């Protein structure tokens, strides 16, 4: 015990001495406080907030204000069940039913709903489930496979919650957005992410006149969320969620939405005309590469190179030439093909577009009148209504030529093509089928055939022949 006391005392003295020496030789630590400047949100209106000149005044809102936006938007995002009726025995009530689900966005108080075409294209009937679990029937107003959009209308005379349109042109890379869906009747799902890119083409739409200029985000979008809303943090609709890139079938960090400025044009045309009025420049194009930029002696590797001028198109009428490089359309830069396509797709035949382009190293500007695919400015209404009817069913037809009439000794129309996944495709009809009767009435030509389809009430039975096979064939479906 006598030895322990001196040891403890010696340890205590050593510790005190070490602290004194450390304090004496150590430099005093400096703590620097920096007052963070008040955040200059680009929607700010206060005079004492300095908004940088490169920021615009109409961005969404405070970039982390998700709660208000989610509460505002969720009631207007619905679940859509597309019900397919399959007749195994056509003239009986022995039917089978399949269904496909997705999301939709109500855009007006009377119950108009925007969704993806691929959500509803398999259906004959449509059931809408609201966020509060109320259910309604809806009818299809029209669809546009080239942009993968469709418009439905709830069959009810009442007021519904809806989302206001924003401005997809104002979206900036890095801006916060919310993806809101209503999948599998789980009520609304809300995920957050940022805008990763704009004007993306992922080559998923196979229509001849497809327009892909997607907004890319990292907001989680899973099966059942297709057709849902992409909104900014002010709760404004800036896109319709459409696709993901995945190897597993689940979300992996890449989701894509149709910009709302393009959506507005498409659904307005569907409401007004039943078909999209698509203006075209009448050119064949390719993006400028580094090699092409060197060949054309361009200062920058950007723009759209014209490699073909269609005869009778708007570009030819305006004097554009092969080799011109388009760099702006109506003041918008066109660095990529999707950017050019989106800008043109927002306008109808007869619209004038300002085109800025480079020719032989010189910058020029010209006004071009857009035309339709028939190289005129007529509204595509009456002529295309017949084709639209056949498109909606899922096939293309033409009149028989004289040789076919003579060899087969029949009157009717010939099926040129059958669209994959359509109602006609589900009957197992093949291209080349010659339709001679519809619901036991003779088919004379294409116009009368379309008229007969219009007059048919519900069920349709097509009878006909194949040139290479003997006997009559029958295909049945619901209108």
317 is catalytic: no
Given the residues 60, 61, 144, 148, the one annotated as active site: 148
C-alpha torsion 220→223→229→234, nearest 10: -20
Contact (Cβ atoms closer than 8 angstroms) between residue 183 and residue 223: yes
Q: Which residues contact 152 (CB under 8 A, 6 or more apart)?
A: 80, 104, 112, 113, 115, 120, 126, 128, 138, 139, 140, 141
DSSP annotation string for 256-325: EEEEHHHHHHHHHHHHHHSS----B--EEEEE--HHHHHHHT-SSS-SEEEEEE-TTSHHHHHT--TT-E
Q: Residue 355 pairs with which residues in a beta bridge?
A: 329, 366
Structural tokens at position 438: 């519809």
Marked catalytic residue, from 112, 118, 305, 347: 118
Q: How many CA atoms lie within 13 A of 253 on its CB side?
A: 1
Residue 118 annotated in active site: yes
The pair phi, psi for residue 403, each rounded to 5°, is -65, -45
Angle, helices 337-345 vs 260-273, to 10°: value is 40
Q: Please list, in sequence order, all residues whose beta carbon lies within 8 angstroms of the beta carbon of residue 146, skipping any fewer than 6 positions away.
A: 205, 207, 208, 209, 210, 211, 276, 278
Contacts of 224 (CB under 8 A, 6+ apart): 101, 102, 103, 181, 182, 183, 184, 186
| Catalytic residue check, 148 | yes
Residue 399 token pair: 């009149």
Confirm if 114 and 163 have CB atoms less than 8 A apart. Answer: no
Residue 241: strand, helix, or coil: strand
Catalytic residue selected from 226, 255, 348, 422: 226
Question: Would you name the residues annotated as active-site residues?
Answer: 118, 148, 226
């Amino acid at each position: 015990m006598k030895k322990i006391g001196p040891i403890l005392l010696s340890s205590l003295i050593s510790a005190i001495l070490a602290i004194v020496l450390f304090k004496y030789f150590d430099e005093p630590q400096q703590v620097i406080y920096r007052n963070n400047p008040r955040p200059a949100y680009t929607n700010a209106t206060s005079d004492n907030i300095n908004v940088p000149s490169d920021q615009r005044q109409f961005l969404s809102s405070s970039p982390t204000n998700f709660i208000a936006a989610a509460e505002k938007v969720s009631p207007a995002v619905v679940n859509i069940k597309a019900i397919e009726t399959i007749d195994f025995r056509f003239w009986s009530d022995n039917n089978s039913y399949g269904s496909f689900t997705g999301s939709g966005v109500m855009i007006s108080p009377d119950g108009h709903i925007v969704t993806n075409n691929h959500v509803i294209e398999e259906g004959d009937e449509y059931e809408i489930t609201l966020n509060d679990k109320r259910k309604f029937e809806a009818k299809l107003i029209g669809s546009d496979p080239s942009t993968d959009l469709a418009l439905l209308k709830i069959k009810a005379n009442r007021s519904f919650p809806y989302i206001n349109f924003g401005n997809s042109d104002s979206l900036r890379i890095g801006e916060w957005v919310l993806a809101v869906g209503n999948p599998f009747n789980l009520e609304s799902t809300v995920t957050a992410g940022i805008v990763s890119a704009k004007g993306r083409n992922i080559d998923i739409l196979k229509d001849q006149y497809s327009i892909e200029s997607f907004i890319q985000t990292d907001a989680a979008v899973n099966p059942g969320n297709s057709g849902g809303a992409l909104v900014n943090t002010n709760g404004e609709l800036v896109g319709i969620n459409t696709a993901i890139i995945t190897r597993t079938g689940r979300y992996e960090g890449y989701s894509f939405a149709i910009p709302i400025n393009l959506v507005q044009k498409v659904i307005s045309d569907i409401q007004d005309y039943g078909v999209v009025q698509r203006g075209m420049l009448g050119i064949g194009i390719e993006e400028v590469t580094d090699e092409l930029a060197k060949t054309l002696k361009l200062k920058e590797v950007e723009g759209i190179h014209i490699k073909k001028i269609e005869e009778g198109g708007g570009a030819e009428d305006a004097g554009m030439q092969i080799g011109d490089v388009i760099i702006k359309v109506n003041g918008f830069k066109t660095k990529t093909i999707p950017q050019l396509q989106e800008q043109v797709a927002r306008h109808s035949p007869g619209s004038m577009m300002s085109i800025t382009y480079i020719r032989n190293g010189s910058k020029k500007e010209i006004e071009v009148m857009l035309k339709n695919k028939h190289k005129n400015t007529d509204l595509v209404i009456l002529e295309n209504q017949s084709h639209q009817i056949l498109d909606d069913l899922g096939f293309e037809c033409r009149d028989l030529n004289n040789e076919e009439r003579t060899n087969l000794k029949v009157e009717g129309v010939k099926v040129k093509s059958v669209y994959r996944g359509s109602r006609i495709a589900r009957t197992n009809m093949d291209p080349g089928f010659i339709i001679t009767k519809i619901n036991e009435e003779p088919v004379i030509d294409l116009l009368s055939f379309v008229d007969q389809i219009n007059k048919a009430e519900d069920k349709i039975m097509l009878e006909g022949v194949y040139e290479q096979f003997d006997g009559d064939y029958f295909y049945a479906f619901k209108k």
